[in-house]
Structure 1
Amino acid sequence: MSAQVRWVDGLKFVATSGSGHAVVMDGDGAANAPSPMEMVLMAAGSCSSVDVVSILQKAKQKVRTVEVKLDGQRAEGTPAVFTDIHMTFVIYGHDVSENHVERAVKLSADKYCSVSIMLGKSVNISHSYEIINEA
């Protein structure tokens, strides 16, 4: 896996993944794009969401969409690392089983999500979920 980050101007940078996808980041208070720390938070949510969706699909759950709301707390001072991250998964669908959702979130947290598991070595990561059963 590889990536490249190129300075644009001010504190704005363009990161390009080895697979050729680009994303803009802004180190100036996230005025023009997500900050690098916001990207870390979003990466954790994206990685976990991939797992949860995949596991629920394999369990043949009738899921319409999945959202994850992330709340990250950072240390005072420098470096302002994450100290706590809470992920709330909101699952929308029809007759979605709570047991399957609980299992999917736990498997992501404990076994599959590389980003969260890596961050969990130094950050307190917690999870919750809500199921919105649609008619």
Structure 2
Amino acid sequence: MATHTVTTTWKGKMQFESTNPSGETLLINTAPEHGGGEEGLRPKALMLSALAGCSGLDVASLMEKMKLEVDDFKIETVASLTEEHPKVYDAVTVEYHFYGSNLNEAKLQRAVDLSVEKYCGVMEMFRQFAKMEIKVLFHHQ
């Protein structure tokens, strides 16, 4: 079984630096109203980035394998937090936006479906605690 190790080191005040198995690092911080600063990513929002990144990598790989023409591709991830502490995401909408003049909507939909239903491990983790809604939008240029 594979394991991942991440080391997160306090850098003072409310800032941490976290490593990644690739060797890259990122800064984590809280909002200024909670004593944090401007530098660094918020922990819960990082989870949404991980979700979009995981699925996006799947879709990008499938777009290449399917030889699909896409000028641009972005993922908007919107999550609602519960009111009670600990505040958690209870509903997440993932919107896949494809831009181009020659979009093959059926194959792009298939790529998203494969990521959502089969390949994206982060998506499966999110399903354990949140209601997931998936939207695919095509922007013909």
Length-normalised TM-score, structure 2: 0.88
Aligned to 1:36: 43
CA contact (8 A) 2:14 2:37 kept: no
Q: Assess if the C-alpha contact under 8 Å between 1:105 and 1:127 holds in 2.
A: no
The answer to whether 1:9 aligns with 2:16 is no
Matched, 1:64 2:71: yes
The ranges of structure 1 where at least 4 consecutive aligned residues each deviate by more than 3 angstroms after the TM superposition are 28-31
Identify the residue that residue 53 of structure 2 maps to in structure 1: 46
**2:121 and 2:92 mapped to 1: Cα distance?**
15
User: Take 1:35 and 1:10, find their aligned partners in 2: how far apart are those partners?
Assistant: 14
Give the aligned partner of residue 26 of structure 2.
23
Distance 1:8 1:46 in 2: 26
Alignment of 1:77-96 (within 5 A): 77-96=84-103
Q: 1:65, 1:50 → 2: CA distance?
A: 14
Q: TM (normalized to structure 1)?
A: 0.92
Structure 2 residues not aligned, in runs of 5+: none
Query: Within 1, Cα distance between the matches of 2:95 and 2:69?
Result: 19
Q: What is the deviation of 1:31?
A: 4.1
SS in 2 for 1:107: helix
Percent of paired sites with the same residue: 24
The Cα of 1:94 is off from its aligned counterpart by 3.1
| Deviations 1:53-104 (CA, angstroms, capped at 9, x unpaired) | 1112211111122100110111112111110110111112231111112111
Shift of 1:48: 0.9
Please report the RMSD computed on the Cα atoms of aligned residues, expressed in angstroms: 1.4
